Amino acid sequence: MRKNWLITGASSGLGCGMTERLLARGDGVVATLRKPGALDSLCAQYGDRLHVVECDVTRVDTIRAAVAQAFTVMPRIDVVVSNAGYGLFGAAEELADEQIERQIATNLIGSMQLIRAVVPRLRDQGGGRIVQVSSEGGRISYPAFSAYHATKWGIEGFVEAVANEVAPFGIDFVIVEPGATRTNFGTGLDLAEPMEVYDATPVGDIRRALDAGYFEFADAAKTVDAMIATIDSESPPLRLALGKSAYESIRASLMKQIESLEAQKEIALSVMEDA
C-alpha cells in the first residue's frame, strides 16, 4: 500500500536517501528544503509523487506554511520525518553566541515546532507516525559537541513526553539514533574558532581525529533501509540505534548509569518523608 511522507531537510544525507528510496518503491513524498533546486532531477523523474516545498526550520512561519501545503497536496500524510539539522563543533568556550543560537533554533526549536504543527493534522486524520532523526549524541556525549548534544538530548526528551500526550489519538513516534554514518554530516559541521589552550585536551584529540578521518562509519544506504523497515513495522521501538558506534556507546553509557544509580539507592531513598 502506498504511503505519503513529509520529510524535512531532504536535500542531502539521510533525508535525501530516504526520499529517493521511497519514491523508487512507489510512495509519495513532500520534501522540504531551505533552497529549491536540489531535487530537480527527482521531480522530473517522479512527477506528482514528489512535491518540493521551501522551508527554513529556523522560521516557524515557513514550517507552518510547509505543513499546510503538505496536507493540501497529499490526501493524507502517513509519516512525518523531522530530519533537518546539522552539527556544531567546538569547546563550549570557543562557540560564538550566534552559533549556539542557530544550532538551538535549527535542531531543537525547529524540530519542536514541526511536531507541534503536524500533531493537530495527524489527529484530525485519525493518526500517523512521527520520526525524529536524532543521533547517538542524543544519549551520550563527546567533547566539543556540547551545543549539538544539548539539542539532541533536548529533542529526545520533548518527543518522549509528546509521545505520551498523543498516543490516545493514534499518533506514535520513532526516534532514530544513528552513529557515525557515511553522509555529509562531517563536511557540514559549523566549526568554532579554535583556541590554542584546548590543543592538548580531549577537544584537541577529537579535532585531530576529525581531521584524520579516524572513525568507523555505517553505510548510509543500509541505514536508510533500516530506518524505512523499522518505520514500516506495525509496532516500532521508540528509539532505534543504528551503527556499531551507536549501539556500543549507548549500551556502555546505560550500563554505567545503572551502576551509578544503584550505588546511590540508599541516599536517594533517605530523603523521603516519614510514613
Tell me what the mean pLDDT of segment 238-242 comes to: 96
Q: From the candidates 11, 82, 134, 135, which is the catalytic residue?
A: 134
Architecture of domain 4-270 in this structure: 3-Layer(aba) Sandwich (3.40)
Segment among 18-22, 32-36, 97-101, 197-201 with least mean pLDDT: 32-36
Nearest in space to 48 (alpha carbons), one of 28, 24, 22: 28
**Alpha-carbon distances, residue 252 vs 202, 245, 248, 257, 259 (angstroms):** 19, 10, 6, 9, 11
Q: Which of 73-77, 84-88, 169-173 has the highest mean pLDDT?
A: 169-173
Nearest in space to 123 (alpha carbons), one of 157, 159, 172, 55: 172
What pLDDT does residue 143 have?
Answer: 94
Tell me what the mean pLDDT of segment 154-180 comes to: 96
The pLDDT of residue 95 is above 90: yes
Sequence-ordered list of residues with C-beta below 8 angstroms from that of 117, at least 6 positions apart, any chain: 63, 64, 67
In b/e form, how buried is each residue of 72-85, taking b as 16+ CB within 10 angstroms? eebeebbbbbbbbb
Query: What residues are paired with 242 via a beta bridge?
Result: 178
Tell me what the mean pLDDT of segment 76-86 comes to: 95
CA 50/CA 23 separation, integer angstroms: 8
Active site residue 253: no
CA 51/CA 28 separation, integer angstroms: 8
Active site residue 152: yes
Question: To the nearest whole percent, how much of the chain has pLDDT over 70?
Answer: 96
213 confidence band (pLDDT: 50, 70, 90): low
Segment among 53-67, 178-192, 237-251 with least mean pLDDT: 178-192
What pLDDT does residue 110 have?
Answer: 97
What pLDDT does residue 191 have?
Answer: 93
Active site residue 265: no
Segment among 40-54, 181-195, 234-248 with least mean pLDDT: 181-195
What pLDDT does residue 19 have?
Answer: 95
What pLDDT does residue 184 have?
Answer: 65
Beta strands in 141-245 (DSSP E): 171-178, 190-191, 239-242
What pLDDT does residue 267 have?
Answer: 96
Nearest in space to 145 (alpha carbons), one of 213, 206, 88, 205: 88
What pLDDT does residue 209 have?
Answer: 84
Q: For 3-31, how does the pLDDT look when each residue is reduced to its tens digit (9 = 90+)?
A: 999 999 998 889 999 999 999 999 999 99
Residue 105 carries which DSSP code?
I
Q: From the candidates 11, 135, 148, 249, which is the catalytic residue?
A: 148
Sequence-ordered list of residues with C-beta below 8 angstroms from that of 137, at least 6 positions apart, any chain: 145, 148, 149, 152
CA 34/CA 171 separation, integer angstroms: 27
Q: Are 106 and 85 in contact (CB under 8 A)?
A: yes
- Dihedral sign, CA of 172, 177, 181, 184? positive
Q: Which three cell numbers stand for residue 53?
A: 516545498
CA 187/CA 202 separation, integer angstroms: 21
The pLDDT of residue 187 is above 80: no
| pLDDT averaged over every residue in the chain | 93
Q: From the candidates 3, 135, 146, 152, which is the catalytic residue?
A: 152
